[in-house]
Amino acid sequence: MTKKMSIAVASDHAGFELKNLLAEEARNLGCEVIDLGTDGPDSVDYPDFGQALAEAVASGRVERGVAVCGTGVGISIAVNRRAGVRAALCHNDTTARLAREHNDANVLALGARLVGVEVAKDCLRTFLSTEFAGGRHALRVAKLG
């Protein structure tokens, strides 16, 4: 990355540990990180944290986001309810790369119970370093708005 990117991270209780590890990794990569919670392993509702993350991205407070829950499905649904936010549930660095290149995804969603820490870090690095390809993909992404 050539400039300092701002990202927000959010999770439910199942994603709490992985969210913290990914926030640390993002800081190590030179990102400014805003942690929107949760702040512990006690049971919480993922839609609340997904909504906070979606608002941070949609408002321009941050450039990108990382959302984590047990499977990544619930929080990605919650995030995608906000216009202007495109969360992609990724399982490896290939899906993370294509989510950026083809879909201009601005939120990486991960399932803490489904992907290991190193795979999640690979997804994060790829997601943060990959640019949107534009071209024919831009027309398709525009239809999502």
Catalytic residues: 69, 102
CA distances from 16 to 13, 70, 94, 108, 124 (A): 5, 9, 24, 15, 16
Running DSSP on this structure, what letter comes out for residue 39? -
Q: Measured between alpha carbons, how far apart are the two ends of the chain, in Å?
A: 27
